[in-house]
Amino acid sequence: MFGDIDGTGFETLHDDFSTCFIGHARVERLWTGARWSEGPVWFAAGRYLLWSDIPNNRIMRFDDTDGSVSTFRQPSNNANGHTIDRAGRLVSCEHLTRRVTRTEHDGSITVLADRIDGKRLNSPNDVVVKSDGSIWFTDPSYGILMDYEGDRAESEIGACHVYRIDGDTGATTIVADDYVKPNGLAFSPDESLLYIADTGITHDADGPAHIRAHKVAGEKLSGGDVLADCTAGVFDGFRVDRAGRIWTSAADGVHCLSADGKLIGKIHIPELVANVCFGGPKLNRLFICGTTSLYAVYLNVNGVSPL
């Protein structure tokens, strides 16, 4: 193990991980001052990263051209997860308004989903876009369980599901209804699999703390076997690299899983990590949302392009 900032460094648990990092590269703390950092998303055209500071009700912006950090949007409706759609627009999950939105190129906001069968969603958490333009998101109850990240309220649905928004019709449908607290999600590089984290253990000592793998067939999911159990806290948000490895948040930093779910290595971070994403011109820089801080490290792998 080695590192730069106290408490950071690479830990190799399998030889396959040794090819993923650069010997002299170090974890950098780019900024600190958040209460709960989440939902990073990279915008290549502008060379900037957006991420959420949920309790502070703001979206932050890191400018890769000069290293500056500024507030992109406040209030943000306690925004959590973000992604970028096929047209380069920001898609966001909002806890406070219990909806999924899209920020148009002119800055206006379009509501993509806020209800299912006439009932309000719980608090959309994380979101991904498929190559066909469909939008897939998770809807646990974290934003309505307390006032810290949203508004305390009863669930109108009475359960926590995973949803798909059709890219052509805008219709919202349930694609998975057997989750306790569905959280982060990401497609495999060829989109044949959808990985979904379940963090039910946060409110039930016997609840799940794992990632499941579903087969994708058009608008439907099948399977859903457990791919990996978390060995430190929970898997929250994660991304997949071009070789199919999963880079996921955990209580002790970032865990790297092989495509078959084996834990092959870790990037230790001195804070609980909530989410990650690949960025930079070559998508070889991993941005890491620690609890209060934004970190980054250059890797010898490349993320999957969102466009």
Residues 6+ apart with CB under 8 A from 149: 36, 54, 55, 78, 80, 95, 123, 142, 143
Position 5 scores a pLDDT of 67
Contact 37, 294 (CB under 8 A): yes
Whole-angstrom distance, CA of residue 117 vs CA of residue 281: 42
Q: Is the Cα torsion angle 163, 175, 195, 202 positive or negative in sign?
A: positive
Position 1 scores a pLDDT of 45
**Chain position carrying tokens 């876009």:** 129
Position 4 scores a pLDDT of 55
Residues 6+ apart with CB under 8 A from 197: 182, 183, 184, 185, 210, 211, 212, 234, 235, 236, 237, 238, 248
Torsion (CA) 38, 43, 47, 52 in degrees, nearest 10: -20
Contact 146, 152 (CB under 8 A): yes
Structure tokens at 120: 């309000």
Tens-digit pLDDT string for the chain (307 aa): 444 567 789 999 999 999 999 989 999 999 999 999 999 999 999 999 999 999 999 999 999 999 999 999 999 999 999 999 999 999 999 999 999 999 999 999 999 999 999 999 999 999 999 999 999 999 999 999 999 999 999 999 999 999 999 999 999 999 999 999 999 999 999 999 999 999 999 999 999 999 999 999 999 999 999 999 999 999 999 999 999 999 999 999 999 999 999 999 999 999 999 999 999 999 999 999 999 999 999 999 999 987 7
Q: 83 vs 32, 42, 178, 197, CA distance in Å?
A: 22, 8, 24, 17
Q: What is the 3-state secondary structure (H, E, C) of the chain?
A: CCCCCCCCEEEECCHHHHHCECCCCCCEEEEECCCCEEEEEEECCCCEEEEEECCCCEEEEEECCCCCEEEEECCCCCEEEEEECCCCCEEEEECCCCEEEEECCCCCEEEEECEECCEECCCCCCEEECCCCCEEEEECCHHHHCCCCCCCCCCCCCCEEEEEECCCCCCEEEEEEEECCEEEEEECCCCCEEEEEECHHHCCCCCCCEEEEEEEECCEEEEEEEEEECCCCCCCCEEEECCCCEEEEECCEEEEECCCCCEEEEEECCCCEEEEEEECCCCCEEEEEECCEEEEEEECCCECCCC
